[in-house]
Amino acid sequence: MQSLILASSSPYRREILDKLGLNYTHSSPDIDESAKPGESIPDLVKRLAEEKALAVAEQFPHGLIIGSDQAASLNNQILGKPYTSEKAFDQLKASSGQRITFYTGLAVFNADQQTMLSEAIPFTVHFRTLTDEQIRAYIEKEQPLNCAGSFKCEGLGIALFSKLEGDDPNTLIGLPLIKLISFLEQNQFSVL
């Protein structure tokens, strides 16, 4: 069986991949994550997922390397990680009553065959209309300062939403398992 390598330092992505009960290694890719002029959000996350997989392939010349990247979009503007409570408040205030689309880029690079499968997978969340007090309480309880869009849907963040739309809820957390399983199977790697 081929070895699996997750090209990520994200503990959230590791938690998701752990659900499959597979043995894998993880390594943090070092790439420039800047958007190119005129690059769409889906194109950006797909390219970055590919670049992360290729960067880690330099250390691991054999096996299947999984790259992933995510960006949240509000009115076609990227919502990044806030890093401060003030920026988290501003993001959640802007998101209140709105639709946010998360695009998760997924790439599987077969280092032995030098082939790449990749896609940008969308997932949309509909935010409830939130009061300033609700937003502050959420930030204080959850501390989502290192999360794109300023929330953790796997925790209390679910209380911010009125509706979720997408094929795989893992996409929202950062690693779309349904598509990943398909990409692995296309590389003759069975999860079951």
Q: How far apart are the first and last CA of the chain?
A: 12
pLDDT at 100: 93
Mean pLDDT of 20-45: 92
Task: Give the pLDDT band of residue 88 (cuts 50, 70, 90).
Answer: very high
Q: Is 146 exposed, middle or buried (0-12, 13-18, 19+ CB in 10 A)?
A: middle
Distance CA 190, CA 128 (A): 40
pTM for the structure as a whole: 0.89
Q: What is the pLDDT of residues 172-188, one digit of tens each?
A: 888 999 999 999 999 99
Q: Is 69 a catalytic residue?
A: yes
| Per-residue confidence (pLDDT) for residue 29, from 0 to 100 | 93
Write down the catalytic residue from 32, 43, 69, 167: 69
In the chain the domains, ranked by start, together with CATH numbers, are: 4-186 (3.90.950.10)
